[in-house]
Amino acid sequence: MYLKRLDLQGFKSFAARTSFQFGQGITAIVGPNGSGKSNIADALRWVLGEQSSRLLRAKKLDDIIYAGSGKRARSDRVEVTMTLDNSQGWLPLDVSEVTISRKGTRSADSDYLINGRKTRLRELQVLMMKATASQSSYAIIGQGLVESVLNLRPDERRELIEEAADIQRYRLKIEEAQDRLKSTHENVERVKLLMKEIAPRLAQLERQARRAGDHARLSKELMQALQAYYEHQWHRLQESLAVSRAGHDQSQAEFIQAKVGLETCQRELADVSAQLEEQRRTAAAAMAERDRLERRVSDLDRSLLVARERGAILQTRAAELGEELTATEAEQKRINGLITGEDDNRARLQRAVAEAKAVLDGRRQELQEIEQEFREGQTHAADAEAKGRRLEAAAEEQKNRARRTAEARKETAREASRGETRRRSLVNQMSEQLRLLRGQRAQEAQIVDEVSGTAARRREMEAEVSRLRDQLASMEAVQNERRARLEGLQARLAVLEDAQKQADATHPENAVSIEGALSSVYEIIRVPRGLEDAISAALADHLEAFVFDRRTDAVSAIQSLVEQRGPRTVAVPLDTMKQVYPLNLIREKGVLGVASKLVKCQPRFEKVVNLLLGRVIVVQDAATATRLARRGLGTVVTLDGIVFHTAGQISGGQPLASRPFILGYERDLETLPNEMEKIQRSHAITENEVASLRERVRAAEAAAAAVTQEAEQALNKRAGLQDSLGRRQQRLAELKGEMRSLIAEISAVRERDRAALAEIERLGEEREQMLAEAKECFQTARYVERAGSMISERRQSLLGAAEEAAEALAGVDAEYRSLNAQRQANEAALARLQSQGAARGSQLQAAEKELAALRSGAQGQERQLQEAQEELEAFIESRAPAGQGTHHLEARQRDLHNQVLSAQSRMFDAERHVLESEAEVRRWETEVENLRLRMTEDGMTLSAKGEVLSPEAVQIAIPFWLSAESQEDGPGGLRPITGGALIDPEALHKEIEGLRAQIRSLGPVNIEALGDYESMRERHDFLAGQVADLEGAEESLHRAIGELTRLMRTRFETTFTQVAEGFEQNFHAFFGEGGQARLSLSDPKDIDTTGVEIMARPPGKRTHSLNQLSGGEKALTAVSLLFALLQANPSPFCVLDEVDAMLDEVNVVRFAKALKDLSRRTQFIVITHNRRTIETADSIYGVSMAPDAASRVLSMRLAEVTADPSVNLN
């Protein structure tokens, strides 16, 4: 076997998948420092299960995963796979190539695989141990670790020898055996404790079982007597009861017939009466209900009309108030603007008036009276003129408003028409939405049913999957137990085979082969487990004796053996052998029996066995052997091999025979393969069942997943349908809202039309009034003008020179007064408008609130009115005129009443006869029931045929005095009972009382004691057998541990000798003649715990410790020991990481030569910088570091390179 291939991906510096192809011989790995050469050795350690972070040069698992660089992302997982060539069958696997893989992630998870199948680390280590290919301390020598071999303590160096001796797997087997031994001992103690607890209970149950037997016998006799007695009484009472029941049945039939006639008439009479009463009540209730419905419809109709009229009025008033409020607000804005402009003119005129007054102060007194009169006339005329112009302007405005209102009315009519069209469209859309909504709700209900069914199927499938998984887990647990049992048997068989090979290899010169012999003694007997040491000690030298048919053949064979100077041998001829009969012993404590009766053999060899073992007694311990030896019956031997001879001598200890294992081991070598084959067959059958069950689990999981997916699809479909329903409901609500808004708009439009008509009429009336007032103002102004002319002529003489100033003053003063008058009028109008606006706003809010309340109430009243009308129509239709048979029913009622009176008379007579016969039947039934209760109390039952049966259902043996062969009357004049037997009830009753007295005298009895005693006895015997088996297994484990310990000691001594010799030879080869080196045991007397010391003294030096050696000398000494270990126990492959780094040129040549010699049996992978070592290699791998911090590899075979003459290695 050798390492054929190594694949790395994500391991340390090997980011990408990198493959190394190795061949037999030496492979050198070269490259600059830091390129990742040593990571190859670390990868081999890791894939073989190394757990030490120090040896892997990492603190945690993350450190062995490629960490990335500035040019390359880091890896999240690591995988190393090694491929081993198994064509020679080093590994116990029936394949030519074996792949071992280990995978890990940054989450610290790690998996092991063998040929792609997951396995445990322990199984991997056991497999590699069997091939001597585990990652031992000398199979993979890491960088700088070669000298650490010399720095180990003696007990640590011992571990190197044990690894070379392949003792570790035996040590693991010993640990397993010790664990099983501990478990077995605990089981023995537990079983003994159970037996100790059971013993008192067993004795108590034995006493109770005897009393229960007596009780069962007496009870059986009592049941037989009770059965005969009760059967006689039962049949007597049954006959009397039958006669009384016959009379009662006849009376009952007559009574029932009369009662049935009466009940028939009464029912018919009741039905007719009920029909009449029901018709009357129904008619009255129908009239009352119809009156109520009609009143309700009338009330609702009136309330709805009132609400509609009030709503129309409120809508009209609200529209008028809104328009007036808008006009008022606009007028307020206009007047405010006028007042702001008049303030500027007023200031200007005030200044002009002041100047004019200053000029006319001198003349004011003179013209005061005339001026005053003139001003009053002028003012009055101006006011009248201004008022007339304002009234004309207002009249024109009213005319324009009337024209605009008429136009708005036309627009309102068109808007009402459009609203009506839109209303009809909304009604159609709402009908369509309702139809679609009902359809989608039906689909949703169907989907809900499908989801419910799917959920039920999914729950059933999940339960099935859970059940299959539990069954699979149970079967896998059974498989694991069988696998563990098989591994234990394989380990036992391997130990036996190794022990046999070791024994054959240790003393091959002692093997004896004699022609003509039928067989040897150890081959013709079969010794039970646990007796091997005793039988081996009893036979002593005769264990390997040879058996012959004739004495002449035996003599010839011995003479031939003497001539060949062979070992001393015993021959047993069958024809002249003395007949010896084995001892007959009385069984006693501690004595197992006569040895010849404890072993098995073929009948033809029985004389030989009786001769050798017929007088040998096997006992458990030395105390028993001492006691029996005093009797002088024969040779006594204990289980552990101590022999008490008849002459008085005592022998013991391990036998000197060359085959100490032949008795027990031969049996195990024969039986273990068969037992292993049975377990393997059972394992294969169960494995098929497990595979089938896993397939069923996968199928069930797939079906459950499909059902789950189907349910999710249905739920998604339902969610989509619900979304569509929501949208349609929202759309329907929008349409309803739009319909309500449209109806309100149409009503508002109509109200606005009526308000506009009223407004037009009002504006016309106000315009006529304003025109009349304007005409009157103009007439007043003309009159004032005529009066002013007269005053002007009179004051003409007074004005004179002040005419121009007066005229100017008069003009300014007139303008100023006109402006003041206009301002006052505007302020008054503004205050009036503000008051009107506030009042109309309050009125508008009140009208809107009342209108909203009326609309809400009107909608509810409309729904109530519609429901009441529909209810009234349905009621009228359902209450169509019914049948008119009331008079017929009344006549039928009178006839039935007469029939009832006649039937009652007949029934009373029949009832009196029934009561009399019923009392007779009840008396006999009471006696029967009392008898039944007594039978039940005594444990009796009745069969379907009326036979009395005991609990055991046994056949009753009637005494002779109860038998009745003839038909004559028996004692007491009793007639025969069923079956033809005559009995004496009095005598039988006395016997029953006597049996009951005997049963009472027994006292309390445990009826279940007999069964409990048998069960407890079986359990006690079973536990005793278990103790014997467990103690035998315990003894077997003790012997197996002892055998393994002796085998480990022998292998250690042999391997130590080989390694010591190889170490001296390698040391002399490296250092030349004159040096000294040897390995020695620190405590030769204690081979099991002794350490290993190293002494190395190079030529020409007198060193006293290894620390005094130079670096190169230490390296060569360590390599000498390493090569000696490989020579003693060659590893399939060995990794050396820069072991030759400390060697000079000459020693490198020696190192390379020794490496070449060892490569014939071991494959070497050498990581080196030394040119001489590289020249020795059969192939080379070059490792370099790329710019992305990842290692790159280049391979080359030297055989191909050296064949090319153009290549110069120097």
**Per-residue pLDDT, 352:** 73
CATH number of the domain at 1182, please.
3.40.50.300
Largest separation between any pair of C-alpha atoms in the chain: 210
Calculate mean pLDDT across residues 599-611. 87
Pairing assessment for the beta strands 1092-1097 and 1076-1081 based on DSSP bridges: antiparallel
Cβ-in-10-Å burial (0-12, 13-18, 19+) of 226 comes to: buried
Number of domains the chain is built from: 2
| 1002: in domain | no
Calculate mean pLDDT across residues 557-586. 82
Question: pLDDT tens, 452-485?
Answer: 788 788 778 878 887 887 777 777 777 777 776 7
Question: pLDDT tens, 831-871?
Answer: 777 777 777 677 777 777 777 877 777 777 777 777 777 77
- Structure token digits, residue 499: 């022990």
**Per-residue pLDDT, 79:** 92
CA-CA distance, 516 to 1103, in Å (whole number)? Answer: 64
**Cα 477 off chain centre by:** 20
Calculate mean pLDDT across residues 1071-1087. 81
Three-state SS for 702? helix
CA-CA distance, 970 to 963, in Å (whole number)? Answer: 10
| 1057: in domain | no
Percent of the chain with pLDDT over 90: 3
CATH number of the domain at 559, please.
3.30.70.1620
| 141: in domain | yes
Mean pLDDT computed over every residue of the chain = 77
Q: Answer yes or no: are the C-beta atoms of 429 and 703 closer than 8 Å.
A: no
CA-CA distance, 1089 to 153, in Å (whole number)? Answer: 13
Return the higher-pLDDT residue of 562 and 362.
562
Boundary (domain end) residue, out of 626, 657, 688: 657
CA-CA distance, 1151 to 1156, in Å (whole number)? Answer: 9
Calculate mean pLDDT across residues 904-928. 78
**Per-residue pLDDT, 961:** 36
CB within 8 A of 262, min separation 6: which ones? 900, 903, 904, 906, 907
- Structure token digits, residue 699: 């199928």
Q: How far is CA 165 from CA 136, 238, 1039, 1054, 1129, in A?
A: 12, 98, 22, 8, 7
Taken in order 496, 499, 504, 510, the sign of the CA dihedral is negative
Return the higher-pLDDT residue of 507 and 405.
405
| 1081: in domain | no
Cβ-in-10-Å burial (0-12, 13-18, 19+) of 707 comes to: buried
pLDDT at 497 over 80: no
Question: Which pTM does this prediction carry?
Answer: 0.39
pLDDT level of residue 616 (50, 70, 90 thresholds): very high
**Per-residue pLDDT, 665:** 58
**Per-residue pLDDT, 27:** 92
Q: Answer yes or no: are the C-beta atoms of 114 and 99 closer than 8 Å.
A: yes
- Structure token digits, residue 409: 């009315």
**Per-residue pLDDT, 659:** 43
Boundary (domain end) residue, out of 657, 683, 703: 657
**Per-residue pLDDT, 643:** 92
Three-state SS for 114? strand
Question: pLDDT tens, 369-399?
Answer: 666 666 676 777 777 777 777 777 777 887 8
**Per-residue pLDDT, 1173:** 87
Provide the b/e sequence for 240-278 (b: ≥16 CB within 10 Å).
ebeebbeebeebbebbeebbebbeebbebbeebbebbee
pLDDT at 660 over 50: no
- Structure token digits, residue 176: 């397993």
Pairing assessment for the beta strands 1179-1185 and 26-30 based on DSSP bridges: parallel
Q: Which of 507, 673, 481, 493 is nearest to 130 (CA)?
A: 493
| 1089: in domain | no
The sheet carrying 635-638 orders its strands as 591-594, 616-619, 635-638, 643-644, 650-651
Question: pLDDT tens, 133-143?
Answer: 555 556 777 66
Question: pLDDT tens, 274-314?
Answer: 877 777 677 677 777 777 777 777 777 777 777 777 777 77
Q: How far is CA 194 from CA 190, 200, 491, 589, 1013, in A?
A: 6, 11, 33, 21, 16
Boundary (domain end) residue, out of 657, 683, 709: 657
pLDDT at 511 over 50: no
**Per-residue pLDDT, 806:** 60
pLDDT level of residue 794 (50, 70, 90 thresholds): low
| 541: in domain | yes
CA-CA distance, 288 to 626, in Å (whole number)? Answer: 124
Q: Answer yes or no: are the C-beta atoms of 1143 and 1115 closer than 8 Å.
A: yes
CB within 8 A of 506, min separation 6: which ones? 1050
Q: Which of 443, 437, 440, 445 is nearest to 733 (CA)?
A: 437
| 44: in domain | yes
**Domain residue limits at 606:** 512-657
CA-CA distance, 806 to 375, in Å (whole number)? Answer: 11
**Per-residue pLDDT, 959:** 40
Q: Which of 1025, 1113, 998 is nearest to 1067 (CA)?
A: 1113
Three-state SS for 659? coil
Taken in order 1010, 1011, 1016, 1021, the sign of the CA dihedral is positive
DSSP 601-646: E-GGGHHHHHHHHTTEEEESSHHHHHHHHTTTSSEEEETTS-EE-T
**Per-residue pLDDT, 1206:** 46
Mean pLDDT is highest, among 108-122, 336-350, 508-522, 1096-1110, for: 108-122
pLDDT at 798 over 70: no
- Structure token digits, residue 599: 């072993």
**Cα 303 off chain centre by:** 68
| 643: in domain | yes
- Structure token digits, residue 978: 């069923």
Q: Answer yes or no: are the C-beta atoms of 571 and 512 closer than 8 Å.
A: no
CA-CA distance, 1099 to 1114, in Å (whole number)? Answer: 14
Return the higher-pLDDT residue of 700 and 289.
700
